[in-house]
Chain A
Amino acid sequence: MKLFETELRVINIGLESFRQGLNDCGVKSVQAQFKPPLSAEAGLFAKAAKHSARIAKANGKALGRILAAKPALVGMGIALDVIPGMKRDLILHAGPPVTWERMCGPMRGGIMAALMYEGLAANPKEAEKLAASGRIKYEPCHEHNAVGPMAGIISASMPVFIVKNEEHGNFAYATQNEGLGKVLRYGAYGPEVIERLKWMEKTLYPTLKAAIESLGRIDLKTMVAQALHMGDEVHNRNRAGTSLLYRALAPAVIKTCKDPETAAKSLEFINGNDHFFLNLSMALSKASLDAGRGVKDSSVVVVMARNGTDFGVQLSGTGGRWFTGPAQVPDALYFPGYSKADANPDIGDSAITETNGLGGFAIAAAPAIVQFVGGKAADALNYTLAMYEITAGESNIYKIPALDFRGTPTGIDVIKVARSGILPFIDTGVAHKNAGVGQVGAGVLSAPPEPFTKAFEYFAKNLK
């Protein structure tokens, strides 16, 4: 009855021309975009709606644990010694499980590099033969509390950062970032790649390990919170995060490293690689999200990861089950000489940052990289704003200045994704589709619909 006595304000969903008449007589209106739901099974939406109170409670619990997590960098170690279930003949990779036969070029290249690095093969030919022989086992990083960018390769003797969630006691692991150019994580396996990895193991690792030990711990959570205020979204832009880490590490490195030359080289390596912090923002995200696993009836996404062939999703309430679909080629800006035809489908565990409310979900905090999303600061704001439509809540610590310090959208709810048809927005680097070439660009993409459709349908069908 109140409608006639209050100012008319209209939400228009569908034909945009209907706003003309409203504009002409000064009625405030907003156009709401509409996308069809991902699943055609209306019954499943009804079922989810029927149990919505229970699901909301479960999601509140899962999100509460994710937000309460206190990830800190507490040390470093060799993968074989510290990663649970790590073995000499095991190679961990990004994304959901995938066989050698179905692996994309850059992942194969990364594995070949790792085999040569481990001394298990003398040259690329031998490495390829061994990789395909069945003697090497492949498992996702995510199934070993680890994460890796791009190919995400972790082999037994690689040094890894140890991130501890001090609130819940769980750990997460990630390698040291190699920098840009021809690097293993983009599938390059030339001699310079192996050489750099060796230097990182023999020189950089002991230097950083000693420095971290002397510091005791580095609080990553507040570091990321600060980085967001300094223009990072800690996925495609890590300049601020890397700088903050450098500031924390430098005095300790000087104090603990006996050889000034080594200290300088190690610090110079970090200084020269704006993405050095990425692997830590990923491990921080992993440590936080793992705390949100295993909550019955929770539809919160705890993993989004790609192996260059498939895109995989895991939910809090559905255990270790992967829901997968084909990975897509990102809409990217390419380095000179390369184009979309050279690009590999999306790859890497780095979408764990988006899963944790960072990366593409926090792109409004990173105006410096808005060229990836259309070139205007408002575009970045809109991408972040859209993500609030599909999340269970907002971060209590990661905040966006341009949104008046609103918390980043956090805890992707697969029911909301399936209902709204709005897919998670992911920042990403682009690898060349052939092994050995490396990075060819960077860009953004929306997650593919299939994994979310499957996850929603499985979740809803199994609601009791």
Chain B
Amino acid sequence: MIKTVIKKGAYFDSVSLMQVAKKLNSVPGVLDSAVVMATKENKGIIKASGLLTPEILKAGDSDLAIAVSAKTPAAAEAAFKAADELLNRKPAQPSGGADRKAAGLDDAFKSLEGANLAVISVAGRFAGALAADCLEKGLNVMLFSDNIPVETEVALKKAAVKKGLLVMGPDCGTAIINGAPIAFANSVRRGNIGVVAAAGTGLQEVTTLISNEGAGISQAIGTGGRDVKLEVGALTFIQALRMLAADPGTEVILLVSKPPHPAILKKITAEIKKIEKPVVAVFLGGEIKEKLKENFYPAKTLEEAAYKAACLGRGWAIAKAREMIYDMNLKSLALAKKEALRKKKTSCLRGLFTGGTFVSEAQVILPEMLGAVLSNAPLDKKNKLKNSMQLSGHAVIDLGEDEFTVGRPHPMIDFSLRNKLIVSEAKRPEVSVLLLDLVLGYGANLNPLEDIMPSLVEAFIQNKELSIVASVTGTETDPQARFKVVKALEAAGVLVMPSNAGACRLAGEIIRMAAKR
């Protein structure tokens, strides 16, 4: 059936009307429709489609005609109602494009006056050329993208150094510049401690620990893990170190990395010696023993480094850092004793990590307590897991390694793989302690509790002897709010420690005490 409505003296431009007709055709039961001003030409056009009714024929140039061919009268009515709504619709917000997306780099550069940093996270094969264009425009660059050839990295960094610009990355997940969190980063206090890190999670751990202790961050510069390898020669690491040395807002410098190539370490230590400001350094698994200068403070763990820097930053005696760790250990010893009571004498620890640096830190702490600890990312090659999906003995795995992340988001965002492992490892009779990290902040999973809780509950049901020890990397001002996450985890029976190192020590202590019993 064909139904018609004429609206006298209503003017709409033809394009708006075509848009309305397009929408009417998607109303269920509507076969065809016409929404036109009833001019002679339009009558001719709708005649061809069989919608020209006597009412429309009678209507004049200044009348709006709506004709609907529909299966049922109700469908036609629905269409007329939809037409009314569409014709009387007001734009949702005044147009003007306050948050307009720029069409490309040139457009963005023109539209944001004073732009000084480009954050690039496009596919690696395109990122190098894009970064080069940004440097050309005088922009500092953070390259979140990975899979960029090392030659490209070197070329970019050399060009940047020449221009006095900074290239963070490739594969740099985090930074804090002028107080602003970039990519995967936490909301931390501003302060006088400047960080250079070739380890992403390491940067997040030290900046949050410092912030949670009441000190603050001036700048935190990520370099990308490959920067301290021989091929790249710490181009960014050294440049960042110099920038912090010259920065009036930075009074303490904190360096975080896995052990650099020996030749590169030499370059870095030479640079440290030139700096007047106090320098704290943690090279996980390769502590600097040499006293480089009077106010140089090596550290074994991220935690120790963060607390030392925090003490320096707040003007406290450096010895206070040890006291802070000692106090934490006292509490965890009592906890460990209680947990050990529920366990068999021999049991294994499994660390399931989303942050790569934490896997390194765990391997600095745990072997001293438990002996050999296997890993898919071992500090010592002889501890390499034969099969990353088949854990044996005491083992810690990095779920952010390429073998796990191909074709899926990073495990800090997508918990599904680790959730599966939490349950499957809990079911193993030899396992009695699970060690986890939970990284909060921008870029990370915004609903961590919702996603992780079911697997934790299931794990406790499956294994009555199980202890789950976790660290929560984050601050109260992070979008997820650390205390909320900690409270919920504790309510579920998880033992939460302030730092990953603290969690590692507690987990190790539980196993050790169970064995002694």
Residues of A within 8 A of B (CB): 1-4, 6-15, 17-18, 20-22, 24-25, 27-37, 42, 45, 180-181, 333-339, 368-369, 371-372, 375-379, 381-382, 385-386, 388-389, 420, 422, 441-442
Chain B residues within an 8 Å CB radius of A376:
91, 95
Interface residues of B in 99-116 (CB under 8 A from A): 100-116
B192 an interface residue at 8 Å Cβ cutoff? no
Q: List 6 A-B contacts (CB under 8 A).
A: A6-B114, A11-B108, A15-B121, A334-B18, A336-B51, A388-B107
**Given the complex, which residues of B lie within 8 Å of A45, measured CB to CB?**
129
Write out the residue numbers on chain A whose beta carbons fall within 8 Å of the beta carbon of B119. Answer: 10-14, 18
Q: A8-B177, A11-B117, A21-B182 are in contact. Are A30 and B18 (CB under 8 A)?
A: no
- Whether A386 touches B107, Cβ cut-off 8 Å, given contacts A11-B115, A336-B21, A372-B15, is yes
**Bitwise interface map of B from 11 to 39 toward A, beta carbon under 8 Å scored 1, else 0:** 00101101101100100000011111000
How many residue pairs link A and B with beta carbons under 8 A? The number is: 218
Determine the residue in chain A with the shortest Cβ distance to B89: A375
Q: Is B151 an interface residue (CB 8 A)?
A: no
Residue on B nearest A333 in the bound complex, by CB = B18
From B22, B145, B164, B179, contact of A333 by CB (8 A): B22
> CB within 8 A of B41: which of A8, A31, A180, A377?
A180
With A335-B45, A372-B15: A25-B166 Cβ-Cβ less than 8 Å: no
Q: What is the minimal beta-carbon distance from B382 to any residue of chain A, in angstroms? A: 38
Q: Mark B440-479, 1 if CB is under 8 A from A, else 0.
A: 0111000000000000000000000000000000000001
CB-defined contacts of B34 to chain A, threshold 8 Å:
336-337
Rounded to whole angstroms, the CA-CA distance of A337 and B69 in the bound complex is 10
- List B residues at the A interface (Cβ < 8 Å): 13, 15-16, 18-19, 21-22, 25, 32-36, 41, 44-46, 48-51, 67, 91, 95-97, 100-123, 126, 129-130, 134, 139-140, 144-145, 164, 166, 177-183, 185, 187, 218-219, 243, 246-247, 249, 441-443, 479
Interfacial chain B residues near A181, Cβ < 8 Å? 41, 44-45
Q: Shortest Cβ distance from A5 into chain B, in angstroms? A: 8
Q: A371 contacts which of B16, B51, B121 (Cβ < 8 Å)?
A: B16
Q: Which of B15, B41, B129, B180 contacts A22 (CB 8 A)?
A: B180
A45 to B126, CA, bound (A): 12
Contact A13 B18 (CB under 8 A): no
Known: A3-B140, A30-B108, A333-B22. A20 touches B219 (CB 8 A): no
Q: How distant is the Cα of A385 from the Cα of B185 in the complex, in angstroms?
A: 33
Q: Are A420 and B442 in touch, CB under 8 angstroms?
A: no
Task: Kindly list chain B residues whose C-beta atoms are within 8 Å of the C-beta of A13.
Answer: 105, 108, 118-122, 130
Whether the Cβ atoms of B45 and A422 lie closer than 8 Å is no
The answer to whether A4 touches B178 (Cβ under 8 A) is yes
Distance, CA A350 to CA B94, complexed state (A): 33
In the bound complex, residues from chain B placing their C-beta under 8 Å from that of A27 are: 178, 180
Residues on B with C-beta less than 8 A from A3 are 116-117, 140, 166, 177-178, 243
- Identity of the chain A residue whose Cβ is nearest the Cβ of B242 in the assembled complex: A1
Q: Which residue of chain B has its CB nearest to the CB of A441?
A: B18
B243 partner residues in chain A, CB cutoff 8 A = 1, 3-4
Contact of A9 among B25, B106, B114 (CB under 8 A): B114
Q: Which of A20, A371, A372, A422 is close to B104, meaning CB atoms less than 8 Å apart?
A: A422
Q: A13-B120, A337-B50, A389-B107 are contacts. A37–B126 as well, Cβ < 8 Å?
A: yes
B494 to chain A, nearest CB (A): 27
A residues within 8 A CB of B218?
A: 4
User: How far is A1 from B134 in the complex, measured between Cα atoms in Å?
Assistant: 17
Instruction: Assess whether B18 is in contact with A371, with CB atoms less than 8 Å apart.
Output: yes
Distance between Cα atoms of A126 and B145 in the complex (Å): 64
User: Which residue of A21, A22, A389 is within 8 Å of B103 (Cβ)?
Assistant: A389
Given contacts A18-B119, A20-B442, A379-B95, 7 further A-B contacts (CB under 8 A): A9-B113, A30-B108, A181-B41, A336-B32, A336-B49, A385-B100, A388-B106
Main secondary structure of the interface of B (DSSP, over half): mixed
* Minimum Cβ distance to chain B for residue A419 (Å): 8
Q: How far is the CB of B180 from chain A (nearest CB, A)?
A: 4
CA distance A186 to B385 in the complex (A): 70
Collect the chain A residues with CB atoms within 8 Å of residue B21's CB. 336
Residues in chain A near residue B144, CB distance under 8 A: 14-15, 18
Q: Is the CB of B51 within 8 A of A337?
A: yes
Contacts of A371 in B (CB 8 A): 13, 15-16, 18-19
CB distance from A46 to the nearest CB of B (A): 9
Question: How far apart are A10's CB and chain B's nearest CB, in angstroms?
Answer: 5
Taking a contact as CB atoms under 8 Å apart, the answer to whether B116 and A9 are in contact is: yes
C-alpha gap A13/B145 in the complex (Å): 11
Neighbour of A28 across the interface among B46, B102, B106, B112, CB < 8 A? B112
Please state if A11 and B95 are interface contacts (CB–CB under 8 Å): no
Contacts of A11 in B (CB 8 A): 102, 105, 108-109, 112, 115, 117-119, 134, 139
Residues of A within 8 A of B97 (CB): 378, 381-382
**Alpha-carbon separation in the docked complex, A422 to B49 (Å):** 38
B contact residues around A9 at 8 Å (CB): 112-117
Indicate if the CB atoms of A375 and B19 lie closer than 8 Å: yes
Report chain A residues within 8 Å CB of B50. 337
The answer for the CA separation of A109 and B376 in the assembled complex, in Å, is 69
The CA of A349 and the CA of B189, in the complex, are separated in Å by: 61
CB nearest neighbor in A for B140: A3
Residues of B within 8 A of A385 (CB): 100, 103, 107
Provide the residues of chain A in CB contact with B91, threshold 8 Å. Answer: 375-376
**Residues from chain A with Cβ under 8 Å of B19 in the complex:** 333, 371, 375
Given A3-B140, A4-B249, A381-B97, the answer on whether A420 and B15 have CB atoms closer than 8 Å is: no
CB-CB under 8 A from A25, the residues of chain B are 179-181, 187
| Closest Cβ–Cβ distance, residue A372 to chain B (whole Å) | 6
Contact A336 B115 (CB under 8 A): no
Contact in complex: B114, A18 (CB < 8 Å): no
6 nearest A-B pairs in the assembled complex, by CB-CB distance: A337-B49, A14-B121, A336-B34, A386-B103, A21-B442, A32-B108
- B126 CB to closest chain A CB (Å) equals 6
Give the interface centre of B32, B122, B180, B443 by most chain A CB atoms within 10 Å: B180
Whether the Cβ atoms of B33 and A336 lie closer than 8 Å is yes
A10 vs B134: C-alpha distance when bound (angstroms): 11
Please state if B164 and A1 are interface contacts (CB–CB under 8 Å). Answer: yes
Instruction: Name the one of B104, B166, B187 contacting A389, with C-beta atoms under 8 angstroms.
Output: B104
- From residue B36, how far is it (CB to closest CB) to chain A in Å? 7
B106 with A336: CB separation less than 8 A: no
Shortest distance between the CB of B13 and any CB in chain A (Å)? 6
Complex alpha-carbon distance, A335 and B443, angstroms: 46
What is the CB-to-nearest-CB distance from A416 to chain B, in angstroms, rounded to a whole number? 8
For the complex formed, measure the closest distance between the CB of A375 and the CB atoms of chain B, giving whole angstroms. Answer: 7
Q: Compute how far the CA of A42 lies from the CA of B148 in the bound complex, rounded to whole angstroms.
A: 14
Q: Shortest distance in angstroms between A186's beta carbon and chain B's nearest beta carbon?
A: 13
Q: Are B122 and A34 in contact (CB under 8 A)?
A: yes
- Specify which chain B residues have a CB less than 8 angstroms from the CB of A381 in the assembled complex: 97
Among A18, A42, A339, A379, which residue has its beta carbon within 8 angstroms of that of B129? A42
Residue contact A31 to B178, C-beta cutoff 8 Å: no
Inter-chain contacts of B112 with A (CB < 8 A):
9, 11, 28-30
Find chain A residues with CB under 8 A from B18 CB.
333-335, 371, 441-442
Query: In the assembly, what is the distance between CA of A132 and CA of B394, in Å?
Result: 81
Nearest chain B CB to A127 CB, angstrom units: 23
CB closest chain-A residue, reference B134:
A11
Say yes or no: B102 contacts A333, CB within 8 Å: no
B104–A32 CB distance below 8 A:
yes
How far is B33's CA from A276's CA once the two chains are assembled, in angstroms?
Answer: 29
Which single residue of chain B is at the shortest CB-CB distance from A372? B15
- Cα(A35)–Cα(B129), bound, Å: 13
Shortest distance between the CB of A315 and any CB in chain B (Å): 21
Q: Which of B41, B115, B121, B145 contacts A18 (CB 8 A)?
A: B121
